[in-house]
Amino acid sequence: NAGVTQTPKFQVLKTGQSMTLQCAQDMNHEYMSWYRQDPGMGLRLIHYSVGAGITDQGEVPNGYNVSRSTTEDFPLRLLSAAPSQTSVYFCASTEGAEGANVLTFGAGSRLTVL
Amino acid sequence: QKEVEQDPGPLSVPEGAIVSLNCTYSNSAFQYFMWYRQYSRKGPELLMYTYSSGNKEDGRFTAQVDKSSKYISLFIRDSQPSDSATYLCAMSEGGSYIPTFGRGTSLIVHP
């Protein structure tokens, strides 16, 4: 049982380039989300999905796109990378059952935009 | 003012000390209170969660919720160097998929 898998672990981009961060989970979780973590800022929600075909914006969605074609996968696309998008990105998922919706996080993707 | 306030630290303590980590919040609708631990260059992982008010104990860790004061705490007894990490509090309303996180407190336990 792999949990939440993120690729790549590290990436360096030039300003203006595009790329996709991959996220896959094998727990059949309905809810998936993307966060970015910056020093002193904590975790900030970018986009989330409550099921296949359903996505919505979080706190800091600008410059990012998502789609959810399957339950397992939730890729995050940077359309035109900017230095302000240098950050550590975490994908998370939860079952979405009654009660506390505890998140399972991936190991993170560290992105540097030059 | 953020919905959840957490002192970022760093908090540096000697091995064996009792550690107290705290968060305050403003949303009285929060019902679930969680603590995540994040080691350097890793993803956060759930340490404990509690529902509504009261205490919950798990080994050396105790989570405490005071809803009347909108204040939650995590106590670590007999702290170890392996406890050195960032501790994030998180809270959510009943049935919500989206927790609100504190900014995290960096804890350093030195031998």
CB of B59 less than 8 A from some CB of A? no
Model pLDDT, residue A1 = 65
- B3 close to A (CB below 8 A): no
Whether the pLDDT of residue B61 is over 90: the answer is yes
B81: left (phi over 0), alpha (psi -120 to 50) or beta: alpha
pLDDT of residue A101: 78
End-to-end CA distance of chain A: 36
Put simply, whether B42 touches A (Cβ < 8 Å) is yes
The string over A66-79, giving b where at least 16 C-beta atoms fall within 10 Å of a residue's C-beta and e elsewhere, is bebeebbebbbebe
Nearest residue on chain A to B4, alpha-carbon basis:
A42
B38 pLDDT more than 90:
yes
Between CA A54 and CA A65 the distance in angstroms is: 13
> Are A101 and B99 in contact (CB < 8 Å)?
yes
pLDDT at B95 over 80: no
Structure tokens that stand for A106 in this block? 């991936």
Each of the 114 residues of chain A gets a pLDDT tens digit; together they read 679 999 999 999 999 999 999 999 999 999 999 999 998 888 999 999 999 999 999 999 999 999 999 999 999 999 999 999 999 999 999 986 666 678 999 999 999 999
Q: Determine the pLDDT at residue A39.
A: 87
Sorting pLDDT into bands at 50, 70 and 90, what band is B1? low
The predicted pLDDT at position A85 comes to 97
pLDDT at residue number A104: 95
Displacement of CA A76 from its chain's centroid (Å)? 6
Interval B46-74 mean pLDDT: 93
What's the pLDDT band for B43 if we cut at 50, 70, 90? very high
Q: Do B95 and A98 touch (CB under 8 A)?
A: yes
- Taking only the tens place, the pLDDT of each residue in B69-88 is 999 999 999 999 999 999 99
The span from the CA of B46 to the CA of B2, in Å, is: 22
| Mean predicted lDDT score pLDDT of chain B | 94
